[in-house]
Amino acid sequence: MLRLIVALGLILGLAFAVTPAAAKGTGLIYVSNEKSNNILVIDPKSYKIVNDIAVSRRPRDMHFNADHTKLYVACGDDDDIDVLDVASGKVVGKLATGSSPETFAMDEARRRIYVSDEEASTLAIVDMDKNIIEKEVPTGAEPEGVMVSKDGKTVYVTSEVGDLVHEIDADRGYVTRDVVVATRPRRFAATPDGKELWVSTEMAGEVNIIDRQKFVVTGKIDFLPPGMRQSDVTPVGLAMTKDGKTAYVTLGHAAHVAVVDVATRKVLDYILVGKRSWGITLSDDQKTLYVANGLGDDITVIDTASRKPIIAIPVGRVPWGVVVDE
């Protein structure tokens, strides 16, 4: 109850003192809230909410454009991607997608957005300038995770129900290879050397590791925080450091983040966070980790050096993702 009162007080206070977002490099933290249909903006120094932006229904995945003048937000219940002007904090456009967009990847060089359309079981290829769907690529049931290669030639998509990862030719728009993974694959992280693709498999309680050249699973990592049941371990979010030495995995209902040594694939530590931890991102300097706790209605801020939580910040209802303007 106290947390709810604090959160309401912070949000109501916005009516009297709203700090508009500036350009790239502000360090401001953006959180998408699925049930309250808003994006909250948090000051990284005071940890206070400085803006509350209403968007279309069920906002989930978010990505900045290259110069951070725009923030793109997938809104699942209105079948679109809202385009936010970062400076004004207002929605200035919408991109049409297929049914129930959840996650997406941007290729600004080709002016494309690749969107997983959950209900249609397709990957929608959206032309950012024309605002049209160029092509819909059939996938396994309930696609979610999307990642585009650095050269823009290949797109990877997870199928939650099909237990598959698809490799898709971005130019021709069709699946070139599939690989079977463990139960309910969700999201991706790639090693900086480009050799491995890490995939969280929620219901198996694992991360599967794919050799990108051979496109086969070459290993897995299991998790079990102290005092937790195996059935509570439901990994979803992944973040990897720039040097490729450390990976962080949110463990969902187990309410922990796992710290993993990438080279040895060993779990180094577990960090206690909030209920149903899913969304995760690292600050640009790699010193701070942000975790969205979907059933805790808050985000956890973690110091990566000490592997300790700094603060839990109340946000809106069912936070899905978190990004930082850096």
Model confidence at 10: pLDDT above 90: no
Q: State if pTM tops 0.75.
A: yes
Token pair 């922990």 in the structure block, residue: 256
| Bridge partner list, 98 | none
Residue 297 counted as domain residue: yes
Q: Which domain holds residue 204?
A: 2-96+181-324
Q: Strand, helix or coil at 6?
A: helix
Name which of 30, 47, 48, 49 is nearest 39 in CA terms.
Answer: 30
Mean pLDDT of 198-210: 98
Angle at 264 between CA 260 and CA 268, to 5 degrees: 35
What distances in angstroms separate CA 265 from CA 94, 113, 231, one per listed residue? 41, 32, 21
* Percent over 70 (pLDDT), the chain: 93
Residue 24's pLDDT is 67
Residue 161 belongs to some domain of the structure: no
Q: Does residue 107 lie in a domain region? A: no
Residue 217 has pLDDT above 90, yes or no: yes
CB 262 within 8 A of CB 253: no
Query: What pLDDT score does 268 carry?
Result: 98
Residue 113 in this model has a pLDDT that exceeds 50: yes
**Residue 176 belongs to a domain:** no
pLDDT digits (tens, 9 = 90+) for 21-48: 445 689 999 999 999 999 999 999 999 9
The yes-or-no verdict on residue 297 having pLDDT over 60 is yes
Over 70: is that where the pLDDT of 6 sits? no
Mind listing the pLDDT tens digit for each residue in 62-109?
Answer: 999 999 999 999 999 999 999 999 999 999 999 999 899 999 999 999
Q: Decide if 73 is inside a domain.
A: yes
Mean pLDDT, the chain, as a whole number?
Answer: 93
CATH number at residue 82: 2.130.10.10
Domain count, the chain: 1
- Model pLDDT, residue 9: 40
Mean pLDDT for 294-298 is 97
Within-domain flag for 172: no
Note whether residue 298 is domain-resident. yes
Q: What is the pairing mode between strands 70-75 and 80-85?
A: antiparallel
Write down the pLDDT at residue 25.
83
Terminal CA-to-CA distance of the chain, rounded, Å? 34
- Provide the pLDDT for residue 1: 37
pLDDT score for 43: 97
State how far the Cα of 228 lies from the Cα of 214, in Å rounded to an integer: 35
pLDDT exceeds 60 at position 234: yes
Query: Is residue 158 domain-resident?
Result: no
